[in-house]
Structure 1
Amino acid sequence: MTETPTLAEPLDVMIRLLSFEGKQNPYPLYEELRAHGDLVRLGETHLLAVGHEQISKALRHPVLLQTDAAMQDLRMPGWREHSSWVWLTRNMLFSNEPDHERMRRFFSSAFSAHSVAAFAPMVERLADDAVRHVGELGAGGAEVDLVEEFTYRLPIAVLGELLAIPEADLPGLHPIIAAITTSMDPVGDLAQLAPGDAAMEELAAYVTDLVATRRAAPGPDLTSAFIRALDGSDLTEQDLIANIMAVIVAGSEAPQDLLGNAVRIAVGDADLARRLTGEPRFVDRYLEEVLRWDPPVHALNRVASEDLEFFGEKVVRGSAVTLLVAAGNRDPKRFADPHRFDPDREGNQKQLTFSAGAHYCLGAALARLTAETAIPLLLRRLPGLKVVGSPGFRDQIVQRGHDRLPVTTG
């Protein structure tokens, strides 16, 4: 008689998922959770969503709200003593209506598809500089950390030009941005927010000075444009600073991780590298599959603002609903053979990585433009590029990406 496998308890799976080892390869653990269903209960006030349909619906649900200040009061007593979350709840990413709409309306035109298309020559120039930099560092067989020297360097250079951040300041922002992203991961003790708190204060001071500098000497950059538009708008100075901070963090970290994953996958497969350098139409499909198969964002959080029933589950006010978007991207009900990397699959653009609904990622078009410009150029110029060893991932699960990506250039 065949024994029925025993399902691991969801809480045990989550403990393993949040360990350093679990974060290195969370996908088998997502499947252990999926074995319990598309919605998995962790307790009376916490649900995990792993199904594509459930996550897609939650992202658009009017009762499942972002973790703004009011929602944090329900879920995280004591959070107001921590600068990381005080500043996060001041930006559009962690706001609900009416604050979200007024802030997004103010910033959206700068990152619309039309505006981003006009950035293409600048992105091409900076991508060329970044690829040349990697080639110079790797001359003679030297090992290069692609994270520091390319996947971070290029997105932050793009933001630097857009926002008028001095080039000399860009490397120093990297550890600040990295520390801030740790604040978005689950914590067992609010003291774990200390590194993010310190980094957020440092970034707030930096952006405050940047705004003051551009106000005194405005230019053609977006920071100056935002300052000019502030008069007569319904935004405050604090709103402006908080959202420029959000643009710097989100606009560098997610593209960095997308670039890292896209390079790692491509250099391990000669056919993919050949198609990426020789078939321009293939590049978009490839990047959509990277976003589906190994995304830079693995989890998003929502909080119930009132009692509701969600796909048969009773959700009480104040309950957390964690949306494991990386698991939803591999839902076999939505994608056939979901664990296979297949850029030619139909419908891979239905991935959930850039969110959906009102909170669809404002920087998605810019992230795609940067990656679709840089990846073919890197592979074409450095055809001997190889990943050295087995690169690891940061000790994070919400925003997941490589801490180092050592390569040789051939």
Structure 2
Amino acid sequence: MTTLFLQSEIKNPYPFYEKMTVENPIYWDETNKIWAVYSYEHCVEVLKNENAHIPQLPFNPNLNHYALEIISNLARLSNGVQHQIAKETANILFSYMKTIGVDSILKELIDNEISQNQINWVDSVCKKLPVLTVLKSFDFDTQDSIFISEKISSFVKIMSPNKTLEETILLNEIAEKIYTITSKHISKLPFYESLLSQISTSQNISLEKTLSICTVNLIGLFIQSYDACRGLLSNALLQIISKETLFKDKNWIQKMIVETLRFDPPIHNTRRIANIDIQLNNITIKKDDSILVVLAGANRDSKKFENAIDFDFERENNSEHLTFGIGGHMCLAKYFSVQLTTNVLYYLLKHFKISILENEIEYEPMINARSPKAIYISLYN
């Protein structure tokens, strides 16, 4: 098996990860010209190494000003000083989020989508609820919230390195609209002047540039909430239902979610580029070499997690999984996604009896994420 494969084509990738972790923890894939790192120890080394950079998206001359502005200023896609500025901005934005109860959002989504006590959990809830929660926490109006939540699944393709002309044209349209909506909305927020002053002063950049960075990284929160929560809401529900354990309390649900993040994470790998020669376990990864950090392999490393192939929500160190990364580029939506998923599944299990309506779950044709295409469930009070 090659180190790069579509999750839609593999029924169970974990035995392969486990084999590679033991036999080839740092592996040169000659076919794809990429280093694949599987062991927990070495994945941590790469993720913490400041000279292992986020790969830059190739320049696309067909992208408009708004799309290019977003790509250029996202914390997730930047390195060095630029990353520090964007990350600080994103963290400050997160600190200004209002706490929003998800119960009413979830109830409305279910009521709108349910038919004969059945619902597609992925399309009806997982792809909509996270971004709607972020939008409501920043007081976006209903019309703008609907537009952004409906377009987010198409818009996240802006993160893809390879875009067709058709996708580029669509991204340009969405980018301009979302950027304009978000920029105007930020200027109306009660903490607008404080936010801009705080970032502009600390980073010594113009207010105009600060507004652009704020706009882009608020859009980045939409993208991260969609990416971080969509798969987790799906995978955690599947794990909880499959264990056939009695529903307990919110703390129990959170433990199940944390173990899902280790045992069956939505994100399986991330990439880096060596900015200089990097030594890893007496192996030299040369400057400009590509690195595939196999987070899902690290999460099943028996040297780190006792009985790693078993789902054990009481294991003491489950929270040390690498699904959200570690170091400077750790996912900013880490705590948000766990809390949101906990609240959503608590409400769902408290109010409904649930059963899965299909035996085989199909996954999206993605390399980096293992995300179900659909999960049809029945809901009964």
1:372 and 2:320 correspond = no
8 Å contact from structure 2 (residues 267, 296) kept in 1: yes
What is the one-letter code of the residue matched to 1:41? W
8 Å contact from structure 2 (residues 250, 342) kept in 1: no
Which moves more between the two structures, 126-135 or 345-354? 126-135
Which residue is equivalent to 1:208? 179
Whole-Å separation in 1 of the counterparts to 2:184 and 2:193: 9
Which residue is equivalent to 1:27? 14
1:127 and 2:103 correspond = yes
Which residue is equivalent to 1:152? 127
2:88 to 105, 109, 114: 105
> Which runs of no fewer than 5 residues in structure 2 stay unpaired?
none
1:13 and 2:2 correspond = yes
Which residue is equivalent to 1:249? 223
2:240 to 254, 266, 287: 266
8 Å contact from structure 2 (residues 128, 149) kept in 1: no
Whole-Å separation in 2 of the counterparts to 1:104 and 1:13: 34
Whole-Å separation in 1 of the counterparts to 2:283 and 2:29: 12
Whole-Å separation in 1 of the counterparts to 2:178 and 2:168: 15
Displacement after TM superposition at 1:203 (Å) = 3.6
> Structure 1, residues 302-361: CA drift from partner, whole Å, max 9, x if none?
111111221111111100111010111111221222222111112101100111111122
Displacement after TM superposition at 1:183 (Å) = 6.0
Whole-Å separation in 2 of the counterparts to 1:212 and 1:182: 21
Q: Secondary structure at the match of 1:337?
A: coil
Q: Cα–Cα, structure 1 residues 246 and 80, in superposed 2: closer, same or farther, change >3 Å? A: same
What is the one-letter code of the residue matched to 1:178? S
1:63 to 44, 48, 51: 51
Q: Cα–Cα, structure 1 residues 63 and 213, in superposed 2: closer, same or farther, change >3 Å? A: closer
2:152 to 177, 181, 184: 177
> Which runs of no fewer than 5 residues in structure 1 stay unpaired?
1-11, 73-77
Which moves more between the two structures, 386-395 or 223-232? 223-232
Q: Cα–Cα, structure 1 residues 88 and 338, in superposed 2: closer, same or farther, change >3 Å? A: farther
1:400 and 2:370 correspond = yes
Structure 1 or 2: more helix by fraction: 1
8 Å contact from structure 1 (residues 39, 47) kept in 2: yes
Q: Secondary structure at the match of 2:302?
A: coil
Which residue is equivalent to 1:330? 300
Whole-Å separation in 2 of the counterparts to 1:381 and 1:19: 33
In the TM superposition, what are the counterparts of 1:295-374 in structure 2 within 5 Å? 295-374=265-344
Which residue is equivalent to 2:40? 52
Q: Secondary structure at the match of 2:73?
A: coil
Displacement after TM superposition at 1:36 (Å) = 3.8
1:42 and 2:48 correspond = no
Number of aligned residue pairs: 370
CA RMSD of aligned residues (A): 2.9
1:163 and 2:138 correspond = yes
8 Å contact from structure 1 (residues 180, 197) kept in 2: no
Q: Cα–Cα, structure 1 residues 64 and 215, in superposed 2: closer, same or farther, change >3 Å? A: closer
Whole-Å separation in 1 of the counterparts to 2:142 and 2:13: 36
Q: Cα–Cα, structure 1 residues 133 and 92, in superposed 2: closer, same or farther, change >3 Å? A: closer
Q: Cα–Cα, structure 1 residues 323 and 82, in superposed 2: closer, same or farther, change >3 Å? A: farther
8 Å contact from structure 1 (residues 302, 322) kept in 2: yes
Displacement after TM superposition at 1:51 (Å) = 0.7
8 Å contact from structure 1 (residues 300, 323) kept in 2: yes
2:214 to 221, 234, 240: 240
Whole-Å separation in 1 of the counterparts to 2:215 and 2:37: 33
Whole-Å separation in 2 of the counterparts to 1:381 and 1:299: 35
8 Å contact from structure 1 (residues 176, 202) kept in 2: no
> Structure 1, residues 150-199: CA drift from partner, whole Å, max 9, x if none?
222321221111334333444544564333445656x7xx4x55465345
Whole-Å separation in 2 of the counterparts to 1:329 and 1:399: 14
Q: Cα–Cα, structure 1 residues 20 and 148, in superposed 2: closer, same or farther, change >3 Å? A: closer
8 Å contact from structure 1 (residues 128, 377) kept in 2: no
Whole-Å separation in 2 of the counterparts to 1:135 and 1:367: 23
8 Å contact from structure 1 (residues 56, 356) kept in 2: yes
